[in-house]
Amino acid sequence: MTCIVLYCRPGFEKECGAEIQEKAAWNEAFGYIEILKKQGIVLYHLYNAEDGEKLIEKLPLKRLIFARQWFLSLTDRIELPSTNRVEAIVEALGTEWQYVDLRMETADTNDGKALSKFCRKLAVPLRQALRKNKIMTEQGDNDGANLHALFLSGQEVILGYSLGHNSSPHHMGIPRLKFPNQAPSRSTLKLDEAFLYFIPKKQWESRLCSGLKAVDLGAAPGGWTYQLVRRGMMVSAVDNGPMAESLMDTGQVKHYMADGFKFVPSKLNVYWLVCDMIESPKRVAKLMVKWLLHGYCKEAMFNLKLPPKGRYQEVVQDMQLIKDAFSDAGVQYELYAKHLYYDREEVTVHARLLSPAPLAKT
């Protein structure tokens, strides 16, 4: 039976499953969910095999909040022999389709990590065999199909493919970012990943460049401010807590000991609003809408903290609240949310208006 395999953060399989089921249904594709609990893997079994191709083509992965990566299965779970595994995989694939890359994958767990060593070893002869049989082409083409091999154990694999233009370029959707030693908190990686994920690199020169003004709500001790400062921005850091000395010494940061819900910029010259306050997600969502519609900022990157229960419903409601407010104001906008790798109990949202801010007073 054909299925879509989705990877998410372990522990969020239920949310990932609920989301694919709902969004697949919007595309008139129906099926049932199989969850590999605490392994960060969800299988969405389709009642109609043809719907799989339609979905991975039409439903942008960027529109899925909880899935980091996905692929469409080509095989059921294959039992591999203890020898000649490469031959068994090549035989299961046939020679009808060509792929531009091979992705060897495992669950995002400790067992999965141990298994990935085995996968790395197997990848070498497998790649050679795929090339020899012309199943994998020599030239990398970003828009071609990637071959995925999900190893559930050393003896069991699911094969499938994703489309280059609608999948993550990172292994299992996880960008490996290096923690900068000078950053005052590990949270810094969240904003680093958010910029990498939401803002196309080609536009960094104009949207993430030196000289832009930024406001960081809930800034202490300064992990997010650090990411803005290192890109040459001037930052108003708002938090009653203390900011790292190293950041204050740069001369690029002004610290306001104030309530992030009451702070208003003195001029309409702020480009970025970033917000990592641990607060009710609805309250944060409303605040972000206010900043954008009043023209207090041009773009906003913020986290919505998830409650212990009803996490998917909470994000859906918060996103709807933002969409409704933008629609009521008659503005065009870009709005995406993702449960990023460096996020834990929160999702990151990026929002910007594509038309003038209607409530801005000049």
Phi, psi angles (nearest 5°) of residue 236 = -95, 110
Which of 40, 144, 218, 281 binds ligand SAM (CB under 6 A)? It is 218
Would you say 51 and 4 are in contact if contact means Cβ atoms under 8 Å apart?
no
Would you say 70 and 7 are in contact if contact means Cβ atoms under 8 Å apart?
yes
| Of 54, 290, 305, 323, catalytic | 305
The DSSP secondary structure of 256-299, one letter per residue, reads: E-S-TTT---SSS---EEEE---S-HHHHHHHHHHHHHTTS-SE
Q: Taking CB under 6 A as the rule, does residue 185 contact ligand SAM?
A: yes
Q: Taking CB under 6 A as the rule, does residue 241 contact ligand SAM?
A: yes
Q: Taking CB under 6 A as the rule, does residue 221 contact ligand SAM?
A: yes
Q: Helix 13-26 crosses helix 311-329 at what angle (to 10 degrees)? A: 50
The DSSP secondary structure of 14-33, one letter per residue, reads: HHHHHHHHHHHHHTT--EEE
110's CB contacts (< 8 A; 6+ apart) are: none
- Give the DSSP H/E element, type plus range, for residue 158: strand 156-163
Residue 111 annotated as part of some ligand binding site = no
Which of 223, 300, 319, 339 binds ligand SAM (CB under 6 A)? It is 223
* Least spacing, CB of residue 278 vs ligand SAM, in Å: 5
Which of 2, 167, 187, 236 binds ligand SAM (CB under 6 A)? It is 187
Using CB atoms, what's the residue nearest to ligand SAM? 223
Q: Taking CB under 6 A as the rule, does residue 277 contact ligand SAM?
A: yes
Residue 112 annotated as part of some ligand binding site = no
Cα–Cα distance for residue pair 269/252, rounded to 1 Å:
15
In a 3-state reduction of DSSP, which class is residue 311? helix
Q: Taking CB under 6 A as the rule, does residue 281 contact ligand SAM?
A: no
Q: Taking CB under 6 A as the rule, does residue 276 contact ligand SAM?
A: yes
How many residues make up the chain in this entry? 362
Instruction: Choose one: 42-50, 101-109, 158-166, 222-230; the region binding ligand SAM (CB under 6 A).
Output: 222-230
Cα–Cα distance for residue pair 323/122, rounded to 1 Å:
47
Size of interface with ligand SAM, in residues (CB under 6 A): 22
| Distance, CA of 204 to chain centre | 18
Would you say 220 and 238 are in contact if contact means Cβ atoms under 8 Å apart?
no
Residue 187 annotated as part of some ligand binding site = yes
* Least spacing, CB of residue 88 vs ligand SAM, in Å: 48
What is the identity of the amino acid at 190?
K
* Least spacing, CB of residue 131 vs ligand SAM, in Å: 45
* Least spacing, CB of residue 343 vs ligand SAM, in Å: 11
Q: Taking CB under 6 A as the rule, does residue 260 contact ligand SAM?
A: yes
In a 3-state reduction of DSSP, which class is residue 241? coil
Residue 37 designated active-site: no
Which of 1, 25, 114, 278 binds ligand SAM (CB under 6 A)? It is 278
Would you say 71 and 148 are in contact if contact means Cβ atoms under 8 Å apart?
yes
Nearer residue to ligand SAM within complex by CB, 241 or 310: 241
* Least spacing, CB of residue 194 vs ligand SAM, in Å: 11
Q: Taking CB under 6 A as the rule, does residue 149 contact ligand SAM?
A: no
Active-site residues, by number, are 305
Which residues of this chain interact with ligand SAM, rule CB under 6 A?
A: 184-185, 187-188, 218-224, 238-241, 259-261, 276-279
Q: Which residues are annotated as a binding site for S-adenosyl-L-methionine?
A: 187, 220-223, 239, 259, 276
